[in-house]
Structures are given as structure tokens and as C-alpha cells.
Amino acid sequence: MPVQPPAPQPATFRLFSLRDDVIVADGPYAGVQTLSTRWGELEVDTAKPVLRECLDRMTLGPVSLANITGGDISELTDMLDKLPGVVVHTMDIDDLAGPLLSAVPVSERARFTLPDVHPTDVVRLSRFAALRSSEDELVVESPLAHHRVVLHRPLAGAVAGGLGRAIAVTDLAASLAMDPGLVAEIVAYLVGAEMVLVGERYNGSARFAEDIDPRLVQWSHHDLLFHGRSRLGRHDEPLGATYRHVDALPPQPAVRPVPDGRRFSLHRPTIGGPSAAEPSLTEVIEGRRSYRGFAEQPLSARQLGELLYRTARVRSLVDATGAGGVGYTVSDRPYPSSDALYELELYVTIENCDGLVRGIYHYDPFDHALTLISTDEAQLAELLDAAKVLTGTMQRPPALITMTARMARLSWVYDGIAYATALKHVGVLQQTLYLVATAMNLAPCALAAGASDTAIEALRLDWPAEVTIGEFVVGLRPG
């Protein structure tokens, strides 16, 4: 089949606009305008009418600077270069079908320079970049970048989609039956927005900087994206206590409804001042260690009850008020939790515990009781064997505590940081378990991971509304 020749390159235009949330107003004195942005206010010298006209027209949408001046645009570009984080750079072509793509700043440090990309250059999408759908358009984002690229038309999406492997611009253009010059211009915007890399010739092939940068080699795509999105900086997504779902979803209860099953009330120790037989906090901290082997003697239900009571029980419930006056309930427990939301649930898988039958239990922190939810041998074996592998021994742990997160409990309040917050709560709960277990002379160990798919079925989770997020094993000390 003959190769279809590429279509001739249409004329292209470089357009400029301001972010949709930027407000332009008169400044504190004549010849100055104030730009109110999500990152603060900027004062701009607009003594010359053409500068003021430029900003005014950019608030209405993408505009060609040459159309404003009719010629020399250096004064306008000099002004825009002094406005980091607010200028949207758009590529358009002369076919009356609308813009191709836009590089939208997502950081107050965003500065955009359009590089020269030659059709013979070898290019590739950054391994940290990701394509997703947003508001009926494709966007390309990266935790390394200060912009996101909105692909307004399938033409731009086809170019971005062809950059999954290293490829010369001319070869990419040929595969898409597009003009190499047009493809090079589209790629230039992606390079300027830090989504695409230009390779360096090395031993007859292309080498990309991020593949040999020791600062980046140590990061996976998911880890760096998660880090960037759970901190303020290189994104413009909502972050913090926004109560975004308050009008659409009811708040989750402070304590998960107790599942059906046989109930086991647990021992409630007396909580008071330090006893003579109990070590000091300093001794507990200094003596804390992880045990990956356990005594042959079983853990007792009394010991497990005391451990859970001193670390995870509900001490009290309190009414709170959210955005719009919507009420919800928070609780007080021994370990800290942001806004007292306590989204973590505990499930205990018992291998060898005197006073409890072998099985999988849900812990009720309000009534301080366990509910037996499964005695399925295959599920027990898979959960306990996964814990055994993670401890690096041939011995199943006497008790495995699986932590899950009811994500709606957090996301009803928090935007953008719900999962990151839940992970922090896992850390403080694990530390609390460590310290109490050490004081009780038990053998504790936090695990690095767990068998998620098995746990979904075994713990009867409504995934992804409730997800496994942490594991902890405990038994008696060997010897």
C-alpha cells in the first residue's frame, strides 16, 4: 500500500492569554495595573497604552501579540516575561478549527520558553509525564513541570501519543501523515512545558538526560507524582480542608458499622499513672525494635485486648460542624489523627492466640470487641503467608493487624491530600503500637506491604471506598 504523503503545513500562530482565575484591575497609582492571582498580587507597569491593552485583551482569551502592536512585539514580551505563573501559551493553526494546545502555568515559578526543535531531533515523552482526561480534553502533566499542557484537538493528542518511545520527529510525522515542520512545532511546546525530552546523540543512539540523572533515577513515576500532588508547589489542584463533597455526600460515621459475626469482648486494662513494673517512656523508645521471629507459645486474648485498648479504642465521641453548617461526628483515640477524623479501621487475622479461634476479625474501637468475619482457610493462609514472607522468616505471625482507610471519611473534608494524610496516620498508629507492645514486652513488627487483593475479599471491603493501607504483626518474644 503506498504511503500517503503528508499534508502541507498550515500557517501557525503563537497566542497568549492569562489564566482564567487572574483578575486585572487598576493599580494603586496611575500607570500601574494589579494582577490578582492564586499566588498573590503582581503590580505591572502599564504606563504605555499598548501594555494595558495587551493585558486587557489577554483576559478575554488567546491573542496574537502582533495583532496588538501591528509589528514589534518586544515590549509586550518583555512585560510578559516578568509575569511568572499567569501567562498561558497557546499554539493555533490557520484552519479555523480552534487552538491545538495550550501550556497552562500551574506554579508561581512557571516560565515558558519555546525551544527550537528540528525535524531530525530524536524526542520522547518524559517517563514522569502522564496523559489523562480533564473537562472533556486531554491534558499532559508531570511532577517535574511548572505547566500542564492541554491538548485541545485530536491532532495534538496524536502527536503526544506517538512519543511513548524515542523517535525522530520526521519519523513521527511520517507515521501520522503530518508535515514534519508542524509536528516539530507541536513537540516544541511539549518540550518547553517539560513534558518531552530531546535526546543527545551518544554511540549511535539517543540518550535522555532524565535517564542518567541520579536525582531522578531513584524516583518512580508514581512516587514522584504522589509526592508532588500531596504538597503545595507544582500543581494548581485544590489542597486541604475544602469540604468539596459536603453538598453531594453525607459525612461518614466516626466508627464503621459493626459487621455480622460472632462477637468477642476484649480485656480492658486499667489506665492510670505509670506503675512500678512498667518502663519509662525513654526506656520504651530506646528499647523499641522489630521482631521477625516469635515464641512458640501463643499470644493471649488478654494481651491482644490490652494492646488494642491502649492504642486504638474510642475514648469519646464529639459533634463537629463542617462547611455550610453540616454536622458530623469526630472521636478521640490514643493516637493522633488530623481533625480527629480517624478513618483507619483495624482487622486482626489470628494464627495462634489463646482465647480466640483462628480466623479473621474486625475490631470495633467503640465497644472494644472483635467480630469474627471469616474462617476461610485459603484466605487465612494467604494473608498470614504474605506477612511471613515480608518478615523474612518461615514462621507465620501469631497475629496480623491490617489497617484499612475509609477514604470518604477523609476526602469529605480534605482535597488532594486525603491519601497522603491516611499514610501519615498509619505511621503514627504503627509507632503507638510499637511503643505499647514494647512496654508490654511483646514482639512487634510493622510490615512494608500486604496482600491487597486477598484482603479485599477476606476483610469484606467495599474497595476502593475502603482500602488496605498498612500491616503490623505481633506475638511473644522468642526465648
Residue 237, judged by CB atoms within 10 A of its CB (0-12, 13-18, 19+), counts as exposed
Mean pLDDT of the 378-402 span: 91
User: Of residues 470 and 270, which shows the higher confidence score?
Assistant: 470
219 with 344, same domain: the answer is: no
Mean pLDDT of the 89-111 span: 92
189 with 335, same domain: the answer is: no
177 with 287, same domain: the answer is: no
Last residue of a domain, one of 200, 229, 258: 229
69 in any annotated domain: no
What pLDDT does residue 433 have?
97
What pLDDT does residue 435 have?
96
364 in any annotated domain: yes
CATH number for the domain including 422? 3.40.109.10
pLDDT digit string (tens) for 306-355?
999 999 999 999 999 887 788 899 999 999 999 999 999 999 999 999 99
Residue 57 scores a pLDDT above 80 = yes
262 with 174, same domain: the answer is: no
What pLDDT does residue 391 have?
87
189 with 281, same domain: the answer is: no
Whole-number Å distance between alpha carbons of 264 and 250: 31
Q: What are phi and psi of 317, to 5 degrees?
A: -115, 140
Model confidence at 5, pLDDT cuts 50, 70, 90, reads low
304 in any annotated domain: yes
The domain total for the chain is 2
Mean pLDDT of the 233-256 span: 81
Last residue of a domain, one of 203, 229, 255: 229
pLDDT digit string (tens) for 408-429?
999 999 888 899 999 999 999 9
179 with 308, same domain: the answer is: no
222 with 369, same domain: the answer is: no
Mean pLDDT of the 168-187 span: 95
Instruction: Assign residue 68 a region (left: φ > 0; alpha: ψ between -120 and 50; beta: otherwise).
Output: alpha
Average pLDDT value for the chain? 90
Model confidence at 3, pLDDT cuts 50, 70, 90, reads low
What percentage of the chain has pLDDT greater than the value 90? 66
Residue 58 scores a pLDDT above 90 = yes
142 in any annotated domain: yes
User: Of residues 342 and 224, which shows the higher confidence score?
Assistant: 342
Q: What's the pTM value of the predicted model, to 2 decimals?
A: 0.82
Residue 250 scores a pLDDT above 90 = no
Question: Which range has the worst mean pLDDT, 83-87, 136-140, 163-167, 243-247?
Answer: 243-247
198 with 144, same domain: the answer is: yes
Q: Which domain holds residue 292?
A: 240-476
177 with 256, same domain: the answer is: no
105 in any annotated domain: yes
What pLDDT does residue 452 have?
74
Instruction: Report CA torsion sign: 277, 281, 284, 287.
Output: negative
63 in any annotated domain: no
300 in any annotated domain: yes
What pLDDT does residue 273 have?
54
What pLDDT does residue 444 have?
96
Whole-number Å distance between alpha carbons of 141 and 148: 5
What pLDDT does residue 228 have?
85
Whole-number Å distance between alpha carbons of 254 and 237: 27
Per-residue cell: 61: 482569551
Residue 103, judged by CB atoms within 10 A of its CB (0-12, 13-18, 19+), counts as buried
pLDDT digit string (tens) for 115-135?
999 999 999 999 999 999 998
Per-residue cell: 464: 476502593
162 with 211, same domain: the answer is: yes
CATH number for the domain including 185? 3.90.930
Three-state SS string over the chain comes to CCCCCCCCCCCEEEEEEECCCCEEEECCCCCEEEEEECCEEEEEECCCHHHHHHHHHHCCCCECHHHHHCCCCHHHHHHHHCCCCCEEEEEEECCCCCCCEEEEECCCCCCCCCCCCCCCCEEEECCCCEEEEECCEEEEECCCCCEEEEECCHHHHHHHHCCCCCEEHHHHHHHHCCCHHHHHHHHHHHHHCCCEEECEEECCEEECHHHHCHHHHCCCHHHHHHHHHCCCCCCCCCCEECCCCCCCCCCCCCCCCCCCCEEEECCCCCCCCCCCCCCCHHHHHHHCCCCCCCCCCCEEHHHHHHHHHHHHCCCEEEEEECHHHCEEEEEECCCCCHHHCCCEEEEEEECCEECCCCEEEEEECCCCEEEEEECCHHHHHHHHHHHHHHHCCCCCCCEEEEEEEEHHHHHCCEECCHHHHHHHHHHHHHHHHHHHHHHCCEEEEEECCCCHHHHHHHCCCCCCCEEEEEEEEEEECCC
Question: Which one, of 142, 20, 32, lies nearest residue 79 by Cα?
Answer: 32
User: Of residues 441 and 449, which shows the higher confidence score?
Assistant: 441
Model confidence at 28, pLDDT cuts 50, 70, 90, reads confident
Last residue of a domain, one of 190, 205, 229: 229
pLDDT digit string (tens) for 273-296?
555 578 889 999 999 999 999 999
2 in any annotated domain: no
224 with 259, same domain: the answer is: no
206 with 352, same domain: the answer is: no
Model confidence at 8, pLDDT cuts 50, 70, 90, reads low
Inter-residue contact 402 to 429 (CB < 8 Å):
no
